[in-house]
């Protein structure tokens, strides 16, 4: 127990105004004094007996030039130290508004050097925690504001408090032992200085926001910032709980001076009331033989009961302003301090026993005593350990290993069987750990574990965990890539099989073969399947069975002649190449991993052999070390390979993903273009057909009918507009390129020759295009590439040419007559 009167200090606030006459005397051995000299005032017209000099004694007086760090060192640090030792401590600032209470307790808002007692104390406490490894501390913080006899929790983070009333109200409770409890006051744990400072900031912000000019809470309220400490020596059952209150009291000015009515007066009265009660408590405490102390008269005195005349080391800072006009208040502040200085406190070490820890300790003691006893009586056992006993021992060893306390002992008693069993258990555990027993019971060692083991000497546990995770992730990546490749292969095979079926059964087999040779099926499928495999991110390309045979054919040609074709092809080729590379890399990674494992086994063998030789005393250290070193180096090398290959694989994956995205986008665009073109084509055909039908019925020439023909009598220039959006073939010089316009079968008149052409397989039709150059030469008029192609069959082609020639001469003859009813009617109804 420490008996001590409340320590009083005085701080003079710097001022630019005219100061009263004052002097600070710090030379005195027992402390310091502050003296105010008041000139005799005769202006009142009568001889007064006012004293000239007022002298007050303090532990120390800090004149205006003293900085915050000095204040902390002298006033707050000793209190913080006693709190660390397990005593309660309080520092409170008392003085009129504007005298520097908040500046002293919390600090100025602008400069770092203006930090007040609270932040400096927090910093100091956490610094001490980290220095003192013999104690484990936990810290909680509370911040209470008392305004008009109501308490508010300033650390309430839930509320965006715009008024003080928005904050949770704190209620005082007293238990049967007359201990004070504050309900609704949150105790926030703060693990470090930063968290504690954040809490201070939160509280001050709440305090600031809640304040309005009409309600200047900061000058009329008391603020109590409390650090709750709990310290414990590791392994000890004794807890030390202590509290440090840092108190910024309301302004101590008198009501008379406030001189305002209404709300403000009420507030002022309250403040003075509560400070008045504080004064009463202090007077009561300073008087000998007073049994009743009126703590309960106000909330503030109730909360600070321990700090005033109780179990606490308390320090008061009287803040004074030495401006002439504040002289009265300064003197009354000092007077108050003189009374406070008389109060004796009795600070107790707040030690308590943690029942749970105590029980554990006592149990250990009993066990130890029992063992001692059996040792003395020599009672030894030689039967085998029961299953139950073995299980118990295993639990004991586990608890022993898990306990962070370095002084924990494994109490087994004088039973050699148990001692032996625990030793062998420990040996097994250590060996398991050395062999990479990271919880994998099956004995297989993952590559991650391999790396982990080998690097554990040089890396920190955090690095190891990271590396381990990375490797597991990489392993997954490889298997995904390898799986993907396998699937591709299968799909390609499936496609080939399907293709073979089609070839056998379908009349268009040769045509398909032609088309597929231009676009290898595997390539095609692989991109499709990738887009499916990627979670269906892209729209699937609707093709194949969904398109009619004619449309499919049109699409194939459309695609082949599309302007993006080359880019798509390039990307496909690149993707294929990259996938192959990825497969190779995946294999390489696996190989590297296997080699690392192999080397590891060899290394282990070496070590075991060396240990065996060591026992027999027959090994040459230098030799063995060189061999081991060599293995180690090889392993390092392989690991580097593994890592770099992995890096490549990852980079490759990014590229593959990008390529896949590009392809998906191109596919979607191609399909969209085709659909647009197709529907445009279809609608314009409908128009031309209905037009043609209409004209034929009215007897007018239906010239539009033969849309595919470039032959004058067979078509008109307007027809070509129906296909104007068709992408131009990339290489128009290739005469064998089939003209897409020729694949609109319905628009072609069913002349015998033409329908014969249509009936022929694509292959033959394509060959007919070569023959069309022949037609060009033969024809009297120039035939465009879109003219009716020949069949390739000599007889049929001769018929066609004969027909065209005959038709031409007929047209020439009937030219001027405007109508050639016979042929036109034939054309109209031919279908």
For position 709 contacting Mg ion by CB under 5 A, the verdict is: no
Residue 119 contact, options ligand ADP, Mg ion, none, Cβ 5-8 Å cut-off depending on partner type: none
Alpha-carbon distance of 186 to 152, in angstroms, equals 10
Nearer to Mg ion, 218 or 772 (CB): 218
Nearer to Mg ion, 7 or 218 (CB): 218
Stretch that binds ligand ADP, among 100-108, 305-313, 468-476, 654-662 (CB under 6 A): 100-108
**Residue 119 C-beta: closest distance to ligand ADP, Å:** 14
Residue 45 to residues 64, 308, 475, 602, Cα–Cα distance (Å): 36, 44, 101, 112
Residue 103 contact, options ligand ADP, Mg ion, none, Cβ 5-8 Å cut-off depending on partner type: ligand ADP
For ligand ADP, the binding residue among 31, 78, 98, 533 (CB under 6 A) is: 98
What number of CA atoms fall less than 13 Å from residue 263's CA on the CB side? 6
Q: Report the Cα 565 to chain-centroid distance in Å.
A: 43
For ligand ADP, the binding residue among 101, 560, 562, 765 (CB under 6 A) is: 101
Residues 96-135 that bind Mg ion (CB under 5 A): 101-102
Nearer to Mg ion, 103 or 757 (CB): 103
* Encoded tokens for 373: 């006893």
Q: Using alpha carbons only, what angle is made at residue 186 by residues 272 and 182, rounded to the nearest 5 degrees?
A: 50
Residues 556-595 that bind ligand ADP (CB under 6 A): none
Q: Report the Cα 308 to chain-centroid distance in Å.
A: 49
Question: Which residues pair with residue 320 across a beta bridge?
Answer: 12
Nearer to ligand ADP, 14 or 550 (CB): 14
Stretch that binds ligand ADP, among 38-46, 92-100, 375-383, 384-392 (CB under 6 A): 92-100
Site pattern 196..235 for Mg ion (x: CB under 5 A):
----------------------x-----------------
| Helix 621-697 / helix 549-561 crossing angle, nearest 10 deg | 120
Nearer to Mg ion, 139 or 252 (CB): 252
Residue 108 contact, options ligand ADP, Mg ion, none, Cβ 5-8 Å cut-off depending on partner type: ligand ADP
Q: How far is the first Cα of the chain from the last one, in angstroms, to the nearest whole number?
A: 121
Residue 149 to residues 211, 220, 274, 507, Cα–Cα distance (Å): 16, 11, 8, 100
Stretch that binds ligand ADP, among 101-109, 557-565, 593-601, 715-723 (CB under 6 A): 101-109
Nearer to ligand ADP, 115 or 240 (CB): 115
Nearer to ligand ADP, 101 or 240 (CB): 101
For position 102 contacting ligand ADP by CB under 6 A, the verdict is: yes
Residue 14 contact, options ligand ADP, Mg ion, none, Cβ 5-8 Å cut-off depending on partner type: ligand ADP
Alpha-carbon distance of 829 to 831, in angstroms, equals 5
Residue 78 contact, options ligand ADP, Mg ion, none, Cβ 5-8 Å cut-off depending on partner type: none
Burial of 366 (0-12, 13-18, 19+ CB in 10 A): exposed
Nearer to ligand ADP, 121 or 708 (CB): 121
For position 326 contacting ligand ADP by CB under 6 A, the verdict is: no
Nearer to Mg ion, 102 or 772 (CB): 102
Non-local CB neighbours of 569 within 8 Å, separated by 6+ positions: none
Asked if 772 and 745 count as a contact pair (C-beta separation under 8 A), the reply is no
Which residue of the chain is nearest Mg ion when measured via CB? 102
Nearer to ligand ADP, 319 or 529 (CB): 319
Question: Which residues pair with residue 8 across a beta bridge?
Answer: 316
Alpha-carbon distance of 126 to 114, in angstroms, equals 20
Nearer to ligand ADP, 86 or 100 (CB): 100
**Residue 124 C-beta: closest distance to Mg ion, Å:** 23
Alpha-carbon distance of 457 to 531, in angstroms, equals 45
Residue 437 contact, options Mg ion, ligand ADP, none, Cβ 5-8 Å cut-off depending on partner type: none
Q: Report the Cα 494 to chain-centroid distance in Å.
A: 44
Site pattern 292..321 for ligand ADP (x: CB under 6 A):
---------------------------x--
* Three-state SS annotation for 701-751: CCHHHCCCCCCHHHCCHHHHHHHCCCCCCCCCCCCCCCCHHHHCHHHCCCC
Nearer to ligand ADP, 66 or 767 (CB): 66
Nearer to ligand ADP, 76 or 397 (CB): 76
**Residue 320 C-beta: closest distance to ligand ADP, Å:** 10
Q: The tokens 């006592």 sit on which residue?
A: 362
Site pattern 5..44 for ligand ADP (x: CB under 6 A):
--------xx------------------------------
Alpha-carbon distance of 706 to 788, in angstroms, equals 10
Q: Which long-range contacts (CB under 8 A, 24 or more apart) does 429-436 make?
A: 429/397, 429/401, 435/604
**Residue 438 C-beta: closest distance to Mg ion, Å:** 59
Q: Tell me which H or E stretch contains 209.
A: helix 193-210
For position 99 contacting ligand ADP by CB under 6 A, the verdict is: yes
Residues 208-227 that bind ligand ADP (CB under 6 A): 219
Give the closest residue to 147 by CA, choosing from 79, 215, 80.
215
For position 694 contacting ligand ADP by CB under 6 A, the verdict is: no
DSSP for residue 287: S
**Residue 245 C-beta: closest distance to ligand ADP, Å:** 17
Stretch that binds Mg ion, among 95-103, 349-357, 395-403, 505-513 (CB under 5 A): 95-103
* Encoded tokens for 657: 């993903």
Considering CB under 6 A, how many residues would be counted as binding ligand ADP?
Answer: 14
| Phi, psi (rounded to 5 degrees) for 15 | -145, 155
* Encoded tokens for 476: 């997954």
Report the interface residues with ligand ADP, using CB under 6 A: 13-14, 95, 97-103, 108, 219, 251, 319
Report the interface residues with Mg ion, using CB under 5 A: 101-102, 218
């Amino acid at each position: 127990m420490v008996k001590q009167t409340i320590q009083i200090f005085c701080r003079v606030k710097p001022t630019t105004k005219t100061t009263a006459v004052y002097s600070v005397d710090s030379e005195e051995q027992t402390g310091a004094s502050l003296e105010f000299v008041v000139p005799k005032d005769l202006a009142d017209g009568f001889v007064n007996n006012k004293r000239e000099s007022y002298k007050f004694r303090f532990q120390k007086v800090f004149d205006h030039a003293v900085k915050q760090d000095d204040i902390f060192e002298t006033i707050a640090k000793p209190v913080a130290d006693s709190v660390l030792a397990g005593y309660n401590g309080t520092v409170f600032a008392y003085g009129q508004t504007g005298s520097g209470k908040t500046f002293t307790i919390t600090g100025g808002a602008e400069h770092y050097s203006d930090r007040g007692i609270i932040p400096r104390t927090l910093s100091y406490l956490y610094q001490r925690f980290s220095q003192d490894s013999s104690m484990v501390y936990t810290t909680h913080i509370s911040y209470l504001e008392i305004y008009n006899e109501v308490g508010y929790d300033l650390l309430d983070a839930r509320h965006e408090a715009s008024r003080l009333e928005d904050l949770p109200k704190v209620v005082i409770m007293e238990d049967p032992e007359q201990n004070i409890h504050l309900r609704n006051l949150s105790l926030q744990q703060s693990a470090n200085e930063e968290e504690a400072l954040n809490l201070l900031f939160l509280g001050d912000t709440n305090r600031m926001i809640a304040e309005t000019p009409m309600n200047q809470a900061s000058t009329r309220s008391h603020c109590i910032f409390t650090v709750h400490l709990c310290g414990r020596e590791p392994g000890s059952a004794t807890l030390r709980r202590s509290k440090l209150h840092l108190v910024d009291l309301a302004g101590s000015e008198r009501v008379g001076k406030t001189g305002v009515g209404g709300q403000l007066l009420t507030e002022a009265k309250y403040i003075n009331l509560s400070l008045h009660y504080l004064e009463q408590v202090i007077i009561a405490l300073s008087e000998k033989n007073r049994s009743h102390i009126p703590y309960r008269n106000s909330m503030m005195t109730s909360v600070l009961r321990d700090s005033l005349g109780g179990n606490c080391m308390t320090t008061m800072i009287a803040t004074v302003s030495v401006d002439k006009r504040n002289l009265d208040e300064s003197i009354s502040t000092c007077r108050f301090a003189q009374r406070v200085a008389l109060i004796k406190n009795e600070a107790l070490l707040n030690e308590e026993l943690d029942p749970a820890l105590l029980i554990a300790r006592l149990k250990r003691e009993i066990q130890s005593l029992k063992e001692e006893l059996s040792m003395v009586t020599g009672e030894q056992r030689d039967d085998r350990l029961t299953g139950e006993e073995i299980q118990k021992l295993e639990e004991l060893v586990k608890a022993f290993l898990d306990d962070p306390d370095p002084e924990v002992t494994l109490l087994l008693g004088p039973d050699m069987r148990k001692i032996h069993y625990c030793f062998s258990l420990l040996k097994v555990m250590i060996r398991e750990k050395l062999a990479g027993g990271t919880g994998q019971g099956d004995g297989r060692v993952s590559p991650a574990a391999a790396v982990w083991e080998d690097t554990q000497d040089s890396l920190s546990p955090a690095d190891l965990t990271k590396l381990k995770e990375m490797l597991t992730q990489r392993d997954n990546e490889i298997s995904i890539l390898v799986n993907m490749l396998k699937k591709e292969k299968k799909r390609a095979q499936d496609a080939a099989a399907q293709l073979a079926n089609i070839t056998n059964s379908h009349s268009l087999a040769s045509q398909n073969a032609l088309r597929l040779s231009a676009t290898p099926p595997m390539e095609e499928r692989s991109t499709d399947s990738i887009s499916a495999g990627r979670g269906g991110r892209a729209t699937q390309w609707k093709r194949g069975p969904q398109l009619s045979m004619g449309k499919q054919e049109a699409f194939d040609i459309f695609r082949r002649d599309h302007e993006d074709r080359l880019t798509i092809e390039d990307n496909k080729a690149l993707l294929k190449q990259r996938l192959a590379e990825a497969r190779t890399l995946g294999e390489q990674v696996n190989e590297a991993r296997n080699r690392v494992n192999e080397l590891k086994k060899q290394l282990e063998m070496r070590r075991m052999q060396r240990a065996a030789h060591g026992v027999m005393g027959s090994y040459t250290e230098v030799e063995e070390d060189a061999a081991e070193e060599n293995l180690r180096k090889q392993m390092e090398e392989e690991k580097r390979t593994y890592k770099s290959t992995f890096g490549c694989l990852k980079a490759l994956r990014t590229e593959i993903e990008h390529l896949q995205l590009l392809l998906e986008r191109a596919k979607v665009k191609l399909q969209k273009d085709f659909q647009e073109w197709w529907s445009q084509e279809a609608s314009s055909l409908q128009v031309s057909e209905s037009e043609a039908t209409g004209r034929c019925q009215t007897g007018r020439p239906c010239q539009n009918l033969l849309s595919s023909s470039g032959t004058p009598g067979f078509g008109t220039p307007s027809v070509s507009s129906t296909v104007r959006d068709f992408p131009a073939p990339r290489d128009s010089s290739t005469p064998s390129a089939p003209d897409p316009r020729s694949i609109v079968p319905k628009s072609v008149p069913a002349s015998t020759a033409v329908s014969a052409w249509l009936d022929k397989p694509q292959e033959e039709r394509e060959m007919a295009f070569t023959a069309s150059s022949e037609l060009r030469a033969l024809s009297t008029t120039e035939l465009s590439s879109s003219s009716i192609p020949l069949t390739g069959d000599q007889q049929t082609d001769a018929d066609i040419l004969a027909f065209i020639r005959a038709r031409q001469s007929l047209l020439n003859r009937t030219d001027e007559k405007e109508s050639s009813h016979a042929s036109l009617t034939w054309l109209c109804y031919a279908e």
